[in-house]
Structures are given as C-alpha cells and as structure tokens.
Amino acid sequence: MPLELESVMFRGTDPARAATFWAKMLQRTPQEDADGILLAGTPTQVGLRFGPGGAHSPVKNRVHLHLSRAERTQRETIEAAEKAGGRRLGSGNIPPGSYAVMSDPTGDEFCAIQDENRYLDGCGPLGEVTCEGTRASGRFWSEALGWPLVWDQDEETAIQSPAGGTKLAWSGDEVDPARDPSRQLFVLSVDPSELAEELERLASLGATRIGDSPTGATLLRDPDGVEFRIRARRRSGQ
C-alpha cells in the first residue's frame, strides 16, 4: 500500500483532555499507543492524534480545524463544543453568515463554519485542516499523498483525497518562525518494506530527513520546514 496520512497530530501538555473533547465532537473512539492517543479516521475523514508536547503559545496556531455542517448545524456545533469544554474566542458574538472562532479545552483554535458555506459541501463533519504555509507545501503534499489539488488560486492551495472528504489547505503565507514546527504535524504510515523507497521519493519532492523519534518514527521536514513523521504500518494481526 502507498504512503497514507494516518493523522494530524496536536502535541500539548494535556493530550488526554484534548482527545476527550475531540472524541465527543467527532464521535470517535480514542486508541492509545506509544505515540499518544489516536482518533482514527476513515477513507474520507482525516484522523487526529494527541501527544505530549509544549504548551499552547500566545502565537496563533499554524494548524486549525474547520467543522462543517454535515451532522450538525453551526449552532448545534457551537453548543456541542461548549458542552464538551470548548469556548468561543473574541467577543463571542457571531454575525449572521459568519464562521465562529472557538478553542478546545487546551487552547487550540478551530472554526465552526457557517451553514451557508458551499466550499465544504460533501467533506463530512471534519471539513478541512487548514495550515499556514506556502503554495510549495500544498503542491508537495499533493504529490506526496497522491491527492489532487482542488484549489490553487492567489497562492492558496487545497488538496483532497480521491475518495473525497476532509480537505487539507494552505494559506499561501510563509510559516512564522516564532511557531514551534513540531507542535502540530502530519503523521504518515507506510508498509515497512516500502519505507526506504518512500523516503527517497519524498526527498526528490523537497523533503529533508532530520532523524528518528524515540518510538521509531522517521522525522522529516516539508519545503516550509514544518516537521512531519512516518510510522511503519502494522500488518494485520499485529
């Protein structure tokens, strides 16, 4: 099997609290392993992972999630988030036809997208993972994952699995050097027999290998210098 996006990892001081919140919001079952707590995805919904790391800084996150109207209206999403421990940011007022900026209980931002939004139609409840990053990163990840570009305009890019579902998007902005490049990252999986070949392919696309994690994952950086990791995919029965 080819390289796959297993999850988007959020590292912080209380991964269990974050995982509990997102398990409730997305109705997923947490699974613990050596790298943290996984909320597994599906062929059309990106997985989320929560692991130990540094505290949320005053600098806005490089990555945040967009929840779309698929199973809940915007109002229902906001109410569910507040019940689970999330909160609205800013004044708390949400103008008609606008997205709502919120944070989970650990301070990581996300948006409840307005019901009228058509861009995320058919993307499911986790509609988009939006990242600070340049067009070069969007094109790199399109080739790395084999996900076609579904948006490429004014330096902004977005890609989506051929199966549909959650989009990955980049703002077109240079990554702020003040951000920790390893606090929010993509976790990929690959069959162990294909790891060497995939590392060579990623290097040809512009990735840089930086080492290995304590749990054996291979650590790399994308063209914007943002860390990502590759885990060996477990075979059936292991």
Please give the distance of CA 171 from its chain centroid, rounded to a whole number.
14
The span from the CA of 236 to the CA of 66, in Å, is 33
Note the pTM of the prediction, 2 decimals: 0.94
pLDDT at residue 119 above 90? yes
Q: H or E element: which one contains 200?
A: helix 195-205
203-222 pLDDT per residue, tens? 999 999 999 999 899 999 99
The span from the CA of 83 to the CA of 86, in Å, is 7
What average pLDDT is seen over the chain?
Answer: 93
156-195 pLDDT per residue, tens? 999 999 999 999 999 999 998 888 878 999 999 999 999 9
Instruction: Report residue 235's pLDDT band, with 50, 70 and 90 as the boundaries.
Output: low
On the CB side of 32, CA atoms within 13 Å amount to: 4
The span from the CA of 98 to the CA of 75, in Å, is 12
The span from the CA of 11 to the CA of 49, in Å, is 8
**CATH architecture for the domain at 4-232:** Roll (3.10)
- CA dihedral for 21, 213, 140, 199, sign (positive or negative): negative
Domain boundaries, the chain: 4-232
Q: Are 127 and 101 in contact (CB under 8 A)?
A: no
13-58 pLDDT per residue, tens? 999 999 999 999 999 999 999 899 999 999 999 999 999 988 777 7
Question: By CB neighbour count within 10 A (0-12 exposed, 13-18 middle, 19+ buried), where does 2 fall?
Answer: exposed
DSSP 126-192: EEEEEE---HHHHHHHHHHHTPPEEEEETTEEEEE-TT---EEEE-SPPPPTTS-TTSEEEEEEE-G
pLDDT at residue 116 above 90? yes
Residue with tokens 């999330």, as numbered in its chain: 86
